[in-house]
Amino acid sequence: MASSSSNKSCLHCHDSSSDCFSNGWKLRNGEYAQLCNRCSYEFNLGRFCEAFHSDEDGWRDCVSCGKLVHCGCIVSLGDYLLLDFNGVICIDCSKTKCINPESESALIPMFEKILTVSDADSKLGRIVIPRKHAEAYFPEITDPLGIQLSVLDTEGIEWDVNFRFWPHLNSKMYVLKGLKDFIRLKNVQAGDTVAFYARESDGKIIMEVRKNHQDFEES
């Protein structure tokens, strides 16, 4: 649905000169991203990420047709399904496959991140969560000390973590604390990828570490 451009700007490109704005993806507060004509055009054609996120991380091949899908991006959240931690399948292909949505592999991809040197430091025992993902997928923090969360890894081990933020450069730095043993057990290294999923049946957060065997230097 299009709306008037009065006092509005595009959530993506911040253009306020459009004569009308249209609904894009759904936000955490239940409202929809307002997009200008150009951004809305790409979104409605199903190629928003191809047009604007081609240089970002998270692109993976559909195991069936080979189409690239942008995993972990809120824009393309409904465009694919996770398959037992070994791949992804685009929605079009999933409609022709026999996938049981009640199985333990029915996970909704949220986002993924390439881990930095400090993320992989078991002495620190915390992973920094990018603000845009923290505020899109994690519970709102109302306590200065953060909130306690229980998350699962891909082997079914449960981890109690503290999700909180610190003021940082006129913004917020979100972190998951309490991961010293997780980092040691998984032998986490800088350059590895951590992926976050929500279990479809109950919303439980699940973490997966994918190893990267190439050398990594933190910028």
The span from the CA of 174 to the CA of 171, in Å, is: 10
Q: Specify the CATH architecture of the domain 109-210.
A: Beta Barrel (2.40)
Q: What digits encode the pLDDT tens for the residues 120-175? A: 999 999 999 999 999 999 999 988 899 999 998 887 889 999 999 988 888 899 99
Q: What angle do CA 116, 171, 6 make, to 5 degrees?
A: 125
If 0-12 CB within 10 Å is exposed, 13-18 middle and 19+ buried, where does residue 98 land? exposed
Q: What digits encode the pLDDT tens for the residues 104-120? A: 457 788 899 999 999 99
Do residues 80 and 90 make contact, with C-beta atoms less than 8 angstroms apart?
yes
Whole-number percent of the chain with pLDDT over 90: 39
Helix (H) or strand (E) holding 37: helix 37-44
The span from the CA of 67 to the CA of 90, in Å, is: 7
* Residue 104 confidence (pLDDT): 43
Residue 185, phi then psi, degrees to nearest 5 = -60, -40
The span from the CA of 158 to the CA of 150, in Å, is: 7
Length of the chain: 219
